[in-house]
Amino acid sequence: MSPSQRPRRRRRSEPLRDLLRETRLAASDFVLPLFVAERNEEARPIAAMPGVVRHSLEGLDAECEAAAAAGVRGVLLFGVPAKKDAQGTGAADSEGIVPRAVRRIRALGLPLVVITDVCLCAYTDHGHCGVLANGEVANDATLERLAQVAACHAQAGADVVAPSAMMDGMVAALRSGLDAAGHSSLAILSYAVKYASAFYGPFREAAASAPQFGDRRGHQMDPANAREALLEARLDVEQGADMLMVKPALPYLDVVRDLRAQHPEVPLFAYQVSGEYSMIRAAGAAGYVDERAVALESLLSIKRAGADAILTYFAKEAASWLGR
């Protein structure tokens, strides 16, 4: 019997496939997360994230130049401070590691969007994302602190601030704090939908931000919930988020797709997190999969699901694999 429909006709040659391709990855889709350590040390490899290092302030220059040369469009900065305390005061210090890194990168004059992570977890001695009261993260007291952190990053010259603490009212608090400090044109990229994920494991080594007791399930989302993600996203848009993020990416492609449909007018980012990255690296190194092909296929899937931009530790390499 001869089939009446033959979709294979459209797949017969690479030029034809290229012509009909629905989704394309480009270097300009990527943002590279960078860790910068305050302690003056040589770039230090992160054991659980092969190929990723904690940079020194000076080491950022070459990394940012290489990222920009590869066509990557942005960097997301995480600070690893030398000192921590219960309040995470270092996070809002204008001489802290992140403001210094922002000023340094801005001085390079590269075509890179400088985004900063706004959270307290790397700055608190207990490793929680906010200030504590009765052993719990106190939402409203934390909001004030986060707004100060964002204003401090804005003052240093950040292009975008990305609050990741998953506190209620976080975007509104940042927006009013920024506006009051004269930063009304600074955009907020909200980690609106951030799951309490085991895929963050390697990152906590990189940023030295593991909670010293308990976990983050009281504020990050339950991996079982997708409808609740629509609520988180809607609240953030109402509070003035300029861009939204879903994190992690590959295990939550359904959520990426839902948000894309719910907020067609809002740019959507997805964060391919440390565990996603390290698994591909490890399987590649063991010879179980073709690392480059698997990395690119994962990134393509994230874009196909509806992400406009992807935060990925593969940014530089993926950009060069794609060629420019």
Residues taking part in catalysis: 194, 247
To the nearest whole angstrom, how small is the minimum distance from the Cβ of residue 87 to ligand PBG? 16
Residue with token string 């190194």: 285
| Residue 161 makes contact with ligand PBG by CB under 6 A | no
Question: What are phi and psi for residue 150, nearest 5 degrees?
Answer: -60, -40
Q: Which range, of 170-178, 203-211, 259-267, 291-299, touches ligand PBG by CB under 6 A?
A: 203-211
Collapsing DSSP to helix, strand or coil, 211 comes out as: coil
| Residue 117 makes contact with ligand PBG by CB under 6 A | yes
Residue count at the site for ligand PBG (CB under 6 A)? 12
Q: Which range, of 11-19, 40-48, 198-206, 253-261, touches ligand PBG by CB under 6 A?
A: 198-206
| Residue 305 makes contact with ligand PBG by CB under 6 A | no
| Residue 273 makes contact with ligand PBG by CB under 6 A | yes
| Residue 164 makes contact with ligand PBG by CB under 6 A | yes
Collapsing DSSP to helix, strand or coil, 118 comes out as: strand
Cβ(248)–Cβ(221) below 8 Å: no
To the nearest whole angstrom, how small is the minimum distance from the Cβ of residue 94 to ligand PBG? 21
Residue from 123, 195, 203, 252 touching ligand PBG (CB under 6 A): that is: 203
Nearer to ligand PBG, 179 or 208 (CB): 208
| Residue 200 makes contact with ligand PBG by CB under 6 A | yes
Residue from 116, 139, 142, 274 touching ligand PBG (CB under 6 A): that is: 274
Nearer to ligand PBG, 203 or 314 (CB): 203
| Residue 129 makes contact with ligand PBG by CB under 6 A | yes
What is the rounded distance in angstroms from the CA atom of residue 307 to the CA atom of residue 116?
20
Amino acid at the residue 96:
G
Residue with token string 């590269």: 110
Packing angle, helices 97-108 and 59-70, rounded to 10: 50
Instruction: Spell out the long-range contacts of 295-302 with Cβ–Cβ below 8 A and sequence spacing 24 or more.
Output: 295/321, 296/25, 296/321, 296/322, 298/249, 298/250, 298/272, 299/25, 299/29, 299/30, 299/272, 300/23, 300/25, 301/250, 301/253, 302/249, 302/250, 302/253, 302/256, 302/270, 302/272
| Residue 137 makes contact with ligand PBG by CB under 6 A | no
Cβ(116)–Cβ(148) below 8 Å: no
| Residue 121 makes contact with ligand PBG by CB under 6 A | yes
Can you give the binding site for ligand PBG, defined by CB under 6 A?
117, 119, 121, 129, 164, 200, 203-204, 209, 216, 273-274
